[in-house]
Amino acid sequence: MIHARTGNAVHSTHGFAHPKRNILALGIDHAMKVADFGAGSGAYALAMAEHLEGSGIVYALDIQKDLLRRLHNEAKARNLKNVEILWADLEVPGGSKLSDGLLDLVLVSNLLFQLEDKAAVLAEAKRIVKNGGRVAIIDWSESFGGMGPHPESVVTREAAYAFAQDAGLTFQKEFAAGAHHYGLVFRNGIPRGGGQAVQSHQETHHHDSPHDSKPHRVTIRS
């Protein structure tokens, strides 16, 4: 089961990860269809919706309905009409209820450390990303004295890389996601030999940021 994502609350990422800056590294273009897995209160979902300037669509998925209601209200307050709020248990096969190959990008941010079945979530991300589309992972690199996850819950960048590779995704690049976070981007549909292996922490070179079926929707009640 997916737990509430505390690290992606609208106001809690300042000084840790940087949603508006990080989405530039993801290459999100006009009219793209993207998803935020474990959207929480929506720091990334809202930033992506604003970046798209009313075009495309951002599917914000979470298992916590109270967080989805907050996200719905915030999107409405900002007049963002390209955000779809979806309830989903992403550790269940087909849990997103989105069509195969529908999306250009799936973002999995501050989520893996909270999951029991990390492989299932990345398999679901791969299923709904189109051929040549991307899956991005942003997560804590360490516990940092209790600021982040419990030490035993931290998913290292090397472990995240391994989970993504096992899901059939090909490593594309790493980017600086914040003082205490790593960012990895993978592509779908590229032969495994076409990607590079993620480097150790000492060797990493961060890349510069580059300039159907109907889903099951949450009923939001006031």
The full set of domain ranges for the chain reads 18-194
User: Once rounded to an integer, what is the mean pLDDT over residues 136-143?
Assistant: 86
Rounded distance between C-alpha atoms, residue 18 and residue 55, angstroms = 22
Paired tokens of 105: 């990008």
Residue 177 is predicted with a pLDDT of 93
User: With contact defined as beta carbons under 8 Å apart, do 43 and 18 qualify?
Assistant: no
User: Once rounded to an integer, what is the mean pLDDT over residues 124-134?
Assistant: 97
pLDDT interval class at 175 (50, 70, 90): very high
Residue 209 is predicted with a pLDDT of 33
What residue type is assigned to position 38 of the chain? G
- Model pLDDT for residues 34-93, shown as the tens digit of each residue: 999 999 989 999 999 999 999 999 999 999 999 999 999 999 999 999 999 999 999 999
pLDDT interval class at 155 (50, 70, 90): confident
Task: Return the CATH number of 18-194, one of 3.40.640.10, 3.40.50.150, 3.40.190.80, 3.40.50.300.
Answer: 3.40.50.150
Residue 164 is predicted with a pLDDT of 96
Rounded distance between C-alpha atoms, residue 125 and residue 116, angstroms = 16
- Model pLDDT for residues 182-204, shown as the tens digit of each residue: 999 999 986 544 455 555 443 33
Q: Where are the beta strands (DSSP E) in 53-180?
A: 57-62, 83-87, 103-109, 129-140, 169-176
**pLDDT at position 115 over 50:** yes
Residue 144 is predicted with a pLDDT of 74
The percent of residues above 70 in pLDDT, for the chain, comes to 77
The CA angle 178-32-92, to the nearest 5 degrees, is: 75
**What are the backbone dihedrals phi and psi of residue 137, each rounded to the nearest 5 degrees, phi first?**
-120, 125
Spatial CA neighbour of 23 closest among 170, 218, 173, 211:
211
User: With contact defined as beta carbons under 8 Å apart, do 56 and 34 qualify?
Assistant: yes
Higher pLDDT, 166 or 14: 166
pTM for the model stands at 0.80
